[in-house]
Amino acid sequence: MRARGDVPRQRTAEIDTSTPVVVLKLDDNPFHHGGLGVIRGLGRLGVPVYGVCEDPFVPAARSRYLHGHWRWRVSGATTDDVVDGLARIAERLGRPAVVLPTDDAGAILLAEQSERLHPWLLFPSPPSELPRKFAGKDTLHRLCRGHGIPSPETETVTTWPRARAFASTLGYPLVAKLAMPWLASGRPRPPSTSVIHGPEQLAELYEKAGQPLVLQEFLPGGAEEAGRGQDWFFHGYRGVGSDVIAGCTGLKERSYPRPAGLTSFGRWVANPELERTATELLRRTDYRGIVDMDWRWDPRDGHYKLLDCNPRLGAQFRLFSDASGLDLSVAAYLDLTGQPVPAMDPVRERRFVVENYDPLAAFGGWRSGRFTLGEWAASVRGTEETAWFARDDLAPFGLMCLRTGWRALTRRFPRRAAGNRRSRPPRFHSGRAAGIANSVSPGRRSGGAKHGVEGVRG
The identity of residue 438, as a single letter, is: N
How sure is the predictor about 414, in pLDDT bands with cuts at 50, 70 and 90? low
Q: What average pLDDT does the segment 385-408 reach?
A: 95
Percent of the chain with pLDDT over 90: 65
pLDDT, tens digit (0-9, with 9 covering 90-100), for 359-369: 999 999 898 88
Mean confidence (pLDDT) of the chain: 86
The sign of the CA dihedral 282, 286, 289, 293 is negative
Q: How confident is the model at residue 187 (pLDDT cuts 50, 70, 90)?
A: low
Closest of 334, 441, 438, 237 to residue 16, by C-alpha:
334
User: Which residues, listed in sequence order, are joined to residue 16 by a DSSP beta bridge?
Assistant: 445
> Could you tell me the CA-to-CA distances from 57 to 34, 53, 71, 200, 402 in Å, in that order?
17, 9, 10, 39, 10
Average pLDDT over residues 134-158: 92
- pLDDT number for residue 453: 43
pLDDT of residue 12: 58
Q: Which residues contact 406 (CB under 8 A, 6 or more apart)?
A: none
Residues 6+ away with beta carbon under 8 Å from 146? none
Q: Which domains does the chain have, with CATH numbers?
A: 2-134+223-437 (3.30.470), 153-217 (3.30.1490.20)
Mean pLDDT of 389-399: 97
Mean pLDDT of 191-209: 89
Q: What pLDDT, on the 0 to 100 scale, is given for residue 412?
A: 67
Residue 184: pLDDT band with limits 50, 70, 90: low
pLDDT beyond 60 at 337: yes
- The Cα–Cα gap between 290 and 405 comes to 33
Q: Output the pLDDT for position 424.
A: 85
| pLDDT of 448 strictly over 60 | no
Q: Is the pLDDT of residue 10 over 50?
A: no
Other CB atoms within a 10 A radius of the CB of residue 46 amount to: 21
Asked if pLDDT for residue 418 goes beyond 70, the answer is no
Longest dimension (CA), the chain: 67
Query: Stretch 376-399: mean pLDDT, rounded?
Result: 96
Identify the pLDDT of residue 5: 38
406 exposed, middle or buried (CB, 10 Å; 0-12, 13-18, 19+)?
exposed
Inform me whether the pLDDT recorded for 186 exceeds 90.
Answer: no
Distance from first CA to last CA of the chain, Å, rounded? 26
Instruction: Give the span between the Cα atoms of 109 and 124, in whole angstroms.
Output: 12
Q: What is the pLDDT of residues 12-22, one digit of tens each?
A: 568 999 999 99
Q: Which of 214-218, 363-367, 398-402 has the highest mean pLDDT?
A: 398-402
pLDDT reading at 346 higher than 60: yes
Q: What is the pLDDT of residue 393?
A: 97
pTM confidence score = 0.88
SS3 category, 65 = coil
What is d(CA 152, CA 305) in angstroms, rounded to the nearest whole number? 6
Residue 313 DSSP one-character state:
-
Q: For residue 89, which of 427, 408, 357 has the smallest C-alpha distance?
A: 427
What are 87-109's pLDDT values in tens digits?
999 999 999 999 999 999 999 99
Higher-confidence position of 260 and 155: 155
pLDDT > 70? residue 262: yes
Rg (CA), the chain: 21
CA distance 156 to 342: 42
Strands 231-238 and 245-256, by their bridges, are antiparallel
